[in-house]
Structures are given as C-alpha cells and as structure tokens.
Amino acid sequence: MEENILDNKIEIFALGIDFSNDFSQVSYMGANYNEPTSLSTIKGDKRYLIPTVLYKKRQINVWCVGDEANQRSYDDDDDSQTLRDILKMEADYTTEIEGTSYSRSDIFDIYFQEVVGLARKILNAGMIHEVVITLAQPDKSIIDSIYASMCKLGFERERIRVLSHSEAFVYYTLNQNKEVWTNDVALFDFNQDHFIYKRLNIIKNKNPNIINVIENDYSRFITYDMLAIDATKKKADLKFLEIITEEFRKHITSAVFLTGVGFYEDWTSKSLKELCSRRKVFKGYNLFVKGACYAAWKKYKSAKGFGSIFQCEGRTRCNIGLLIDHKGKNIVMLLSKAGTNWYEAGAKVECIVDNVDSVQLELNPVISNISRTAIIGLESLPKRPNKTTRIQISIAYTSCNVCNIEIKDLGFGEFYPPSDVIIRETLDIDSILL
C-alpha cells in the first residue's frame, strides 16, 4: 500500500478517537485507504483497546496511558499515581498527585497528549489532517475541554470535531454495503458502564430523507457485574432475549451490531440464536471509532453529506428560522438547520428593527413538520427613531435540546451609539415542540 511519506513520516488524513470511560480506541486512514484501520498499541498484535487510565511516573513529570498505566498501578499496589474514570470527572474536578494539583482540563490535556502521541509514535505519523473524537454523551463542557486540549497539541480548531456515539454509528453504518441498511439497523452497546440499544432507520417519505437513531437505555436490567457468575449470566441472557423479542417485533431489522467489552464474554447462547435469525449480526468493538474515522475522512475529502438529515443524539432536532421582512413580505430565514451537530449549529445575523417590538423565531422539527414560534420581546432596547437600531441575533446550542438566544444592541453607527443592552433567552426545544 503506497502511503504519503514526507520526511520519512506518514501522512494521516483522518484520525478517529473513541474516548470512552473504560477503553479508548484509535483508528486512522491515509492515502489509498478504503476504510479505517484500527490502531494496535503493540505493532503486529491486535491490542486495540486502550484502557482510559493515566499513570504519573514517580518523581518525574512523565505520564503513561493504557495498559502501561494499568501495569504500573498494579505494581504500585495503590492508585495514588493513577487517574481513572476520566469521563466521569465533573468540570470543576481537581486532584493532587505528588503535591501538584490537576484540574479536569489538565487531565484531558495529558490524556490526549498521551493518546495522540502514542498514535503518532506507532504510525510514525507526520501531518494529521482531520481528527474526530467520539464519546457516548458529549456535553458542552467536555466538548470545550476536548477542543482546548487538541488545540494545545497544535490542531487547528476547524480540523477537530466531536461526535456522539449515535453520530458515529450513523457514519459507520452508511459506509457499509447498502444491504446492511436496507431496513433498520440495530446496535447493542454493552460495557462496564451501560447497556444501550440504538436503532437506525431511514425515513424515506421525507425530502430529504431523515436518518433517525433512537436510543433505549437498558442499563438497569443488564449490567457488566452480572457476567461475573453463571446464575446472573443466564438472567442477563434471558433479559437480552426479552429485549430482542420486544424491539424487533415491531421493526424489520437487516443488521445488528454488538459492540463493547460486555459482548466479549460468553453469555448470549439463547439471545444470540434469536438475534441471528434472518439478520446479519456483527460483533466487534471498534464500530464507534471507525465511524469517527469515516466522519473525519468525509471532512478531509470535503465530500458532500449523505443527502439526508441526521436525527440522533448530538444533532439538532429542528430548523430554527428568523422571521424577517424581505421586500415588503414576511419570510422565514433559516438560521440553523435540523440535523446539524449541535456544537456547530450556532448562527449570527444582524438586522435593523423596523416598527416591531419582538423577534420571532420559527422552530420546525423535521419529523412532525409542525412549526412552533418563539417570541422574544425587544422592549428593553433604547428608544430611538424607527430603523435606527441594528441588532445582532446569535443562537448557540448548549446541548442538542437547549438553545441560547442573545440579542445585542448595536446602535446605528455614529448616528446612535450602541448601548449595553443584551437580551438573553434560553429555548428548551423539547418543551416548545411538545
């Protein structure tokens, strides 16, 4: 395979990182790659899972990650130098190791430095063009921290993306043969923290099509601990069978993916038999990381989208439009499109206020298509002659369901200087669309 080699280093066009609380993974694509390749931490071996564990070597400012971190921690027989459950740390988390305090953002910096450094070393990588990090449920503070950490490693902000596991699932699935996603596609994600079922289906009677992922959390019913003894293993198997029967009764499913360390164990004798009946079943652990890599590759190639709207965790649920006056008629100007990654779904626009005392936003969910209007009053703006107030309207999501609107008074040039007035409103999209 011919690779792009500059200065003896290999050029990586797309890098995917699955950042999960128990294990992380890396996959990559370079020149002439048709699909992502998972990174093994030992060359020639198949050690793809990197425990999400950091270990600080004693008395020197050197860290290690993964199996090496676990081994050193085990040798120490204490966890004083070890950091685990990194994704469960709150934004204001701090800890102290050998008298030095580490915040969560410090820990993220170290983690990404180690993981990306490991990938660079193993691949002998030079330039890495696009990076996509995927995690189960990215919230704003985690995404902000990830961007900050990656920027510190020299990546430009535009070259970084953070996706949810649902989004990575979509990217992975749609890059498989079409027969895989002819009908619904199911995924069971089972690890030490959760047992989650996702179902992808394509709603074809809409234009454009909608790629919809729904999610059910069955973590209360099946836990990783249950696999420790036979009795509870059997219970888990029966419960899984129950879930399969119920979920698949209502939907024609062409493919099922089983991912996560929970499926490494042998406990699914009854359920697997039912699952494999008339369906393709795939077991693996690198679906999300490969999905992330596909997303990075698509971005690198500046490829067009799938021509469909994503509706899943991590994506916005509705179009947000602004009612404006255009040549004497009221029209809705699209500010934010449904199906956009919420972190990237912000918009800014400037308008002149002409004899109105409010801003009207139209929320249009793609599935139901029933619009709702959000009205934000402009009474607190300074009183000026008509058409001499310019406002900046910004929308920014803080999750896929919550959108902050900010309306700033810009005055009107030197005729009317701006005031300090900023009007803020938070839209709970789910509540509005109910």
Contact set with other proteins (CB under 8 A): 322-328, 330, 333, 349-356, 359, 387-388, 390-391, 412-415
Least spacing, CB of residue 361 vs other proteins, in Å: 11
Kindly state the smallest distance separating residue 353's Cβ from other proteins, in Å.
Answer: 6
State which residue, 115 or 391, has the beta carbon closest to other proteins: 391
Closer residue to other proteins in complex, CB, 148/323: 323
Q: Which residues contact 335 (CB under 8 A, 6 or more apart)?
A: 320, 321, 322, 347, 349, 361, 393, 395
Give the nearer residue to other proteins in terms of CB position, either 70 or 388.
388
Minimum CB distance to other proteins, residue 326 (Å): 7
Tell me how far apart the alpha carbons of residues 115 and 119 are, in angstroms, rounded to a whole number: 6
Closest residue by Cα to residue 391 from 374, 372, 412, 373: 412
Identity of the residue numbered 122: I
Least distance (Å) between residue 265 CB and other proteins: 59
Residue 184: what residue type? Answer: D
- Distance, in Å, from the CA atom of 264 to the CA atom of 283, rounded to the nearest integer, reads 9
Q: Please, which residue, 221 or 412, has the CB nearer to other proteins? A: 412
Return the closest-CA partner of residue 52 out of 171, 123, 120, 135: 135
Closer to other proteins at the Cβ: 96 or 414? Answer: 414
Q: How far is CA 145 from CA 141, 188, 201, 333, in A?
A: 6, 28, 32, 33
Give the C-alpha distances (Å, rounded to integers) separating 251 from 210, 298, 317: 17, 30, 23
Q: How far is the CB of 102 from other proteins (least distance, A)?
A: 42
Q: Tell whether omega for the bond before 51 is within 30 degrees of 0, i.e. cis.
A: no
Nearer to other proteins, 209 or 371 (CB): 371
**Distance (Å, whole) CA 195 – CA 188:** 7
On the CB side of 243, CA atoms within 13 Å amount to 25
Least distance to other proteins, CB of residue 391, Å: 8
